């Protein structure tokens, strides 16, 4: 065990511990020897849950910088930098977002060549000229505590009022294509129209250009940017560590949360097919229909999934290949194991924590990092016991 101290941050950073030689981030603090440790049992690994920071205003997403710092978005429209010195004030240069209901500043991710270009990508709820908001993505360059020269590269034609179902997850695949999820904006039928940007997965080049091999390029009735459609509100996105394929999860209504393997041109069914029902209990549709892709897994009743990471690290060897999913309504972290595309196992972690888990990410140190959804949101880390 290697012991270091973190200095106190502006928003109540506490000291934490780091174990093992595989810890490569700069966030490597410790608690004093003999201090109580929050140890939790699980089927394969006992683990320690440690709080790195508190006082975040509905944190939504995080990204790991090469030197070990983290960038954290707050839905209220701010981007913060977390380091050994604690949480920074809000970074300047961030686009103005429409903060309403589920809308605001959403995802942060880095360009695959960030070391050379310093590009930071942000998705957010952007105001529409005709009122309401849509989901947009753009990038700028990180310079200390500012984002410089931010510009939008894609603004979805998915305007709606009410601030519902922006989705907004971002992911670069192994070929450097950028994926963006956009929810149905609370208007269910839009997800079945590939001439609309609502309820879809978008695929772009890193500068916003449309790849020539997108499935609907050249079809006047469908949008060139769309990769797949029939999605409700996807808020988890990651690459399968072996196949490199894009997996996502999405919110159902009252039940019917789904994990899906995302493939080009396919229709994932919402709202024509679902395992869920309306919040009133009213029937929506069957759970299967020819020509629409069934989920690999569904949660009924709903856990309200948010954030997703395939685990590939060495800190927890018996978790390798498992998916970790945050649960908002379910207030736990789900560990799900698949054999290929068949679910074989599920375990609930931290079910007694009382936290709404918004984000789950694997850090470069092989530990799992979590964000909790609250006006006093927390940055947490899972370490080996």
pLDDT tens digits, one per residue of 182-234:
999 999 999 999 999 999 999 999 999 999 999 999 999 999 999 999 999 99
Whether the Cβ atoms of residue 251 and residue 260 lie closer than 8 Å to each other: no
Residue 60 lies in a domain: yes
Strands (E), 226-376: 226-229, 234-239, 246-250, 257-261, 297-299, 305-310, 323-327, 332-339, 342-349, 357-362, 368-372
Residue 26 lies in a domain: no
Structure tokens at 64: 């790991």
Low-confidence ranges of the chain (pLDDT < 70): 1-36
Sign of CA dihedral 159, 163, 166, 168: positive
User: According to the model, what pLDDT value does residue 27 have?
Assistant: 60
DSSP annotation of 114 reads: H
**CA 374 – CA 385 distance, rounded (Å):** 27
- pTM for the predicted model, two decimal places: 0.92
Q: Say if residues 98 and 161 touch (Cβ distance below 8 Å).
A: no
Q: Kindly state whether residue 241 falls inside one of the protein's structural domains.
A: yes
φ/ψ (deg, to 5) at 361: -140, 145
Structure tokens at 12: 């109540």
CATH of the domain at 145: 2.120.10.30
> In angstroms, rounded to a whole number, what is the distance separating the alpha carbons of residues 351 and 364?
25
Domain assignment present for 73? yes
Q: Which of 201, 252, 243, 259 is nearest to 225 (CA)?
A: 201
Helix/strand/coil for 116:
helix
Would you state the pLDDT for residue 36?
61
- The residue behind tokens 């690994």 is 45
Q: Contact at 8 Å (CB) between 307 and 236?
A: yes
> Is 259 within the bounds of a domain?
yes
Alpha helices in the chain (DSSP H): 114-117
Spatial CB neighbours of 338, under 8 Å, sequence gap ≥ 6: 296, 321, 323, 344
The answer to whether residue 142 sits within a structural domain is yes
Cβ atoms of 239 and 177 closer than 8 Å: no
Catalytic residue ranges: 165
Q: Is residue 124 part of a domain?
A: yes
Q: Could you give the maximum distance between any two Cα atoms of the chain, in Å?
A: 67
Q: What are phi and psi of 172, to 5 degrees?
A: -95, 130
Sorted by sequence, the CB contacts under 8 Å of residue 290 that are 6+ apart come out as none
C-alpha to C-alpha distance for 319 and 315, rounded to whole angstroms: 9
Dist. CA 83–CA 232, nearest whole Å = 35
Grouping H, G, I as helix, E, B as strand and the rest as coil, residue 82 is: strand
Q: Is residue 187 part of a domain?
A: yes
What is the total count of domains within the chain? 1
Tokens read off for 128: 């529409």
Task: Give the range of the structural domain holding residue 331, as residue numbers without chain letter.
Answer: 39-312+320-384
Q: Which two tokens stand for residue 320?
A: 């390798």
pLDDT at 38: 85
């Amino acid at each position: 065990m290697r012991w270091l101290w973190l200095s106190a941050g502006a928003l109540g950073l506490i000291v934490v511990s780091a174990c093992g030689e595989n810890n490569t981030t700069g966030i490597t603090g410790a608690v004093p020897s003999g201090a109580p440790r929050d140890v939790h049992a699980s089927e394969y690994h006992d683990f320690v849950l440690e709080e790195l920071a508190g006082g975040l205003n509905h944190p939504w997403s995080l990204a790991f910088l090469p030197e070990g710092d983290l960038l954290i978005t707050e839905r209220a429209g701010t981007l913060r930098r977390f380091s050994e010195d604690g949480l920074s004030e809000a970074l300047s240069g961030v686009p103005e977002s429409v903060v309403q209901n589920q809308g605001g500043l959403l995802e942060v991710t880095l360009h695959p060549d960030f070391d050379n270009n310093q590009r930071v990508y942000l998705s957010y709820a952007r105001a529409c000229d005709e009122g309401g908001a849509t989901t947009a993505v753009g990038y700028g360059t990180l310079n200390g505590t500012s984002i410089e020269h931010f510009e939008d590269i894609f603004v979805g034609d998915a305007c709606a009022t009410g601030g519902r179902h922006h989705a907004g997850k971002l992911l670069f695949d192994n070929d450097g294509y950028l994926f963006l999820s956009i929810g149905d904006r609370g208007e269910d039928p839009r997800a079945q129209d590939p001439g609309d940007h609502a309820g879809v997965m978008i695929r772009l080049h890193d500068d916003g250009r449309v790849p020539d091999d997108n499935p609907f390029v050249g079809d006047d009735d469908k949008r060139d940017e769309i990769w797949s459609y029939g999605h409700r509100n996807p808020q988890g996105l990651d690459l399968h560590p072996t196949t490199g394929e894009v997996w996502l999860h999405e919110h159902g209504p009252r039940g019917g949360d789904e994990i899906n393997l995302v493939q080009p041109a396919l229709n994932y069914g919402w709202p024509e097919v679902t395992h869920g029902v309306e919040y009133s209990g009213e029937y929506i549709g069957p759970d299967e229909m020819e020509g629409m892709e069934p989920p690999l897994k569904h949660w009924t009743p709903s856990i309200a999934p948010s954030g997703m990471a395939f685990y590939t690290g060495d800190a927890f060897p018996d978790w390798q290949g498992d998916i970790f999913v945050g649960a908002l309504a379910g207030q736990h972290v789900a560990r799900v194991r698949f054999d290929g595309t068949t679910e074989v196992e599920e375990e609930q972690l931290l079910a007694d924590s009382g936290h709404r888990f918004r984000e789950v990410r694997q850090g470069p140190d092989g530990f799992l990092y979590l964000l909790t959804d609250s006006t006093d949101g927390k940055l947490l880390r899972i370490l080996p016991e």
